Amino acid sequence: MAIATPLRKRPFLAALFVLLAAAPQAWASTTPDAAKVIERYLAATGGAAAFASEHTMHSIGRLEGFGFVGRIESWSARPDRQYSRTELGPFKFSEGSDGRVAWRTDPTTGRVIRLTDRDSLESMVSTWFAFERWAEPGEGGGRVEVVAHERDSLGAYTVLGVSAPGQRDLKPRRLWFADATGLLAKEEAARDQAWVVTTAEDYRPAAGRLRPFVNATGISTMPANRLRTVVDSLAVNPDVAGVSFGMPDSGGGNALRWLAQPGVATLPFEYRARHVWLHASLNGGPERDFLFDTGASVTVIDSTFAAAAGLPVQGHMQAAGAGASGSASFTTLGSLAVRGPDGDGVELRDLKVAVMSVAPTFSRYFWRDFAGIVGYDVISRFVVTIDYDSTRLVLHDPKTFRWSGREAALPMKLNGVVPSLEAVLDGRYRGQFRLDVGSSSTVDVHTPFVRTNALEKRLRDPRDVSGAGFGGAFSSSLGRLHTMAIGPYTWRDPMVTLSRTSEGALASEDFAGNIGNRVLERFRVTLDYDGRRVWLEPGRRYGDRDAFTRTGLMLGWTPGRMDALSVLPGSPAERAGIREGDEVVAVAGRAMNDWPAAALESALEDGPDGREIHVTVKRDGREQVLVMKVREMLR
Final residue of a structural domain among 173, 206, 236: 236
Residue 373 has pLDDT above 60, yes or no: yes
Domain end position, chosen among 515, 538, 561: 538
Pick from 538, 562, 596: which residue ends a domain? 538
pLDDT at 320 over 80: no
With a cut of 50, say whether residue 265 has pLDDT above it: yes
Which segments within 286-344 are labelled E, that is strand? 288-292, 300-302, 314-320, 325-339
Predicted confidence (pLDDT) per residue in 293-309, tens digit = 999 989 999 999 999 99
**Is 117 found in the same domain as 21?**
yes
In order of 1, 519, 591, the CA distances from 550 in angstroms are 11, 19, 21
pLDDT bin (cut points 50, 70, 90) of residue 326 is low
Residues 185 and 43 placed together within one structural domain of the fold: yes
Same domain membership, residue 531 and residue 568: no
Q: Is 144 in contact with 34 (CB distance < 8 Å)?
A: yes
- What percentage of the chain carries pLDDT values higher than 70? 92
Per-residue HEC secondary structure of 233-292 comes to EEEECCCCCCCCCCCCCCCCCCCEEECCCCCEEEEECEEECCEEEEEEEECCCCCEEEEE
The pLDDT of residue 8: 32
Compute the C-alpha angle 580/583/584, nearest 5°: 100
Could you tell me if 560 and 473 lie in one domain? no
423 and 498 together in one domain: yes
> Quick check: is 462 in a domain?
yes
Contact 434, 424 (CB under 8 A): no
Same domain, 230 and 273: no
247 within a domain of the structure (yes/no): no
In a domain, 250, yes or no: no
My answer on whether 79 and 209 are in the same domain is yes
Query: Is pLDDT at 515 greater than 90 in this prediction?
Result: yes
If pLDDT is split at 50, 70 and 90, which confidence band does 481 have? Answer: very high
Q: Looking at residue 607, which CATH number applies to its domain?
A: 2.30.42.10
Domains: count for the chain: 4
pLDDT value at 538 more than 70: yes
- Between helix 117-130 and helix 13-22 the angle, nearest 10°, is 30
* Residue 243 belongs to a domain: no
Helix (H) or strand (E) holding 50: helix 48-52
Q: What pLDDT does residue 12 have?
A: 37
Q: What is the pLDDT of residues 71-115, one digit of tens each?
A: 999 999 999 999 999 999 989 999 999 999 999 998 888 889 999
pLDDT bucket at 633, cuts 50 / 70 / 90: confident
Question: Average model confidence (pLDDT) for the chain?
Answer: 89
CATH code of 154's domain: 2.50.20.10
Which of 381, 358, 377, 359 has the alpha carbon at shortest distance from 368? 359
Write down the pLDDT at residue 562. 93
Indicate if 379 and 428 belong to the same structural domain. Answer: no
On whether residue 209 sits in a domain, the answer given is yes
* Whether residue 453 is found in the same domain as residue 559: no
> Does the residue 544 lie in any domain?
no
CATH code for the domain in which residue 358 is found:
2.40.70.10
Regarding whether 557 and 534 lie in a shared domain, the answer is no
Question: What is the radius of gyration, based on Cα positions, of the chain?
Answer: 27
Domain hosting 534: range is 402-538
> Lowest-confidence range among 223-232, 470-479, 598-607, 623-632?
470-479
Assess whether 272 and 227 both reside in one domain: no
Q: What is the mean pLDDT of residues 232-241?
A: 96
- What percentage of residues in the chain have a pLDDT greater than 90? 70
* Inside any domain, residue 557: yes
Tell me whether residue 134 is in a domain. Answer: yes
- 372 shares its domain with 497: no
Per-residue pLDDT at 264 exceeds 90? yes
Is the distance from CB of 519 to CB of 512 less than 8 angstroms? no
